[in-house]
Structure 1
């Protein structure tokens, strides 16, 4: 038996079950009368309405009199009836549904949110909105006999008669349905002009939620433990903002793929968290377990927290954070940031210019060319396709490769060596030593008394605040912020050996061009001091050694 797509099931729910158009034709604002419900059923019915409203349906409540949908619990059983009123002998085209979920259901199944009674309200209100069953069955059905397609289950639609574990093809855990599922959303989109408002803005789901509607209720109940013993499934539909799935309070591992339309596992269950097919979720906070979290084409932030995690950014410029445990971080395409945290981690940047981040550690040695030398939090880490390193607030030693590298020391007295390639070195605060190596590099000392060494290439240098020493071996250097009587410029004699220049001759040969001082050492060796126009200011700041 073949599987149906979400659209195929959605079409069946909205028209196929009825062998034509649904009997319901409600307006843009749907009025609901629930004035006769007991308190328990009133709460569950409103929760179900909230879940349907999250799709972009507009509900209002009426007490007595005429309403588009009437909810009651007066009679036994759970069912939805339709009436078509008439006036002066003419039948109106609109059917008005009455939903009954009897008090016998409350006695049989209890009134706890997230269990079968609340799912029954969600199901029956789905009928009232115009949805049929997910197959040609009513009252009861047996999987393998009554289903029309292989993937008929609650995982696809709340209108199905088959729990996830009734259908062996799902591989999912038994779970009660808290929201409309993917095919239900497609069916409602067939019937209504939706204006989704749920998830507007930057929304966090589950722990520490800021969501409204049904997902806000679910998140708060997860955080306060109310749903801890309830197996549940849901679908997230969110068409805007930068959004996050937060599992930070969970001990059980999660398996999350942010691809739209994906089926995911969390809260100790399999196949219970679904992402609607046009929904883009950007970020995930993992659990204390061994998580598998995968991004998509957006710029994702994936945080593993505890456990030995596998994080895959895929496309986009991603931020992957493993935290504790022996983690595997795979950036994929794009310029990614990979933070392994504690443990022996694998940081695989993939395509793009990728960065290993050690900000949270206390001083590291990171040698991109010879990682077996690495110490501190970097010891034992395997660095693959990593071009850049951001160090710690402590004293770091960062060394590049023959490729183009960016090395950032941060606070502390750091030593940065670009080696070959066109490198960017940033010392940050502290008394740092920066050496660009071969290639045309950009060197930024930052705050503190820094030593900046220029070897070859055409380097651009900024010392930053503090008394800096600039050491020139060769090539060409543009010095952006030389300060008289604060900074020192040291020229190695080897740099002028061909011309056999003295300090006095260097100063005599200096030229002022375009507001900058040019020191011509040899035909291929030049120092430009931006903004310096008085040669005499170098008299006590220039050294030849």
Structure 2
């Protein structure tokens, strides 16, 4: 969160909270854990603002407060995005000393009550009730080993959902709101849905994977064709559209769209699935045992594997393992570093068409040395 700033004029401190005089211009207050009260005042004798004189509006995740007789407003940054946490504004106090509890005393705040309504989706580990779409599904473990491993299906709404998974392998489908997902333990699949990519208030998600190996799937996320993603697990974000940014924490795998996507992993073992489109995969030092699934047999599409800063062709070794192509990165001292496996990479219809270094120069696979043995 940003440090407290008041613009163009204002006053805030840890003991008094936020102070706002509506006559002095438009103010912007940023969240701070020690500033939990807003005091509204005017230096006119006997002037006291009451709750029915205030108007509340939402601008993306910001809360706007206005006094009708003045043209100015107060903007509380990220009030909707963070109000469930420790930095939420709790109270508004008037000059006569009266308090209004922002969250609990909503009865006189009819407009605000409508604005702050939010869906909560919670699936207890042993309970699929509560109006959720929940069912047992067949998991990958069951198909491969025959050992049953139960899973749940959790379906979001078009509103701003708070979704909590279970300790099992959940399949979570978000709606098109500004959702917060905590998948919990298990190998979870979170399928994302977004509204318009050009929305001035994009429905950004906050997704926390938790334990297990978790995957976030964007293959059907967008209404508009041609909207791709730029996924960086190292930065814990997925950028989409003109201004959308989803936050991904403790997520190992990402599935892209049928448009042009860009993928970058982190230090863990990642699976990056590009589907159709001219996709780019970025591999750097310090990664894990990554896997690229580029299921694109579209004639004319060009997919790129780009190697990050400091990587040269003499630090790359190749090997084929069945239909897969394996490329091993070496450090300067010869120690093994990141390894990337391109699933079915030796088959023409699923191969990576272009290999590139960080400076933009391209090279052919026959320029690389051969890895003499398999590394598990």
TM-score normalised by length of structure 1: 0.32
- Higher relative contact order, chain-length normalized (CA < 8 Å, sep 6+): 2
* Bigger Rg over Cα: 1
The structure that is strand-richer by fraction is: 2
TM-score normalised by length of structure 2: 0.45
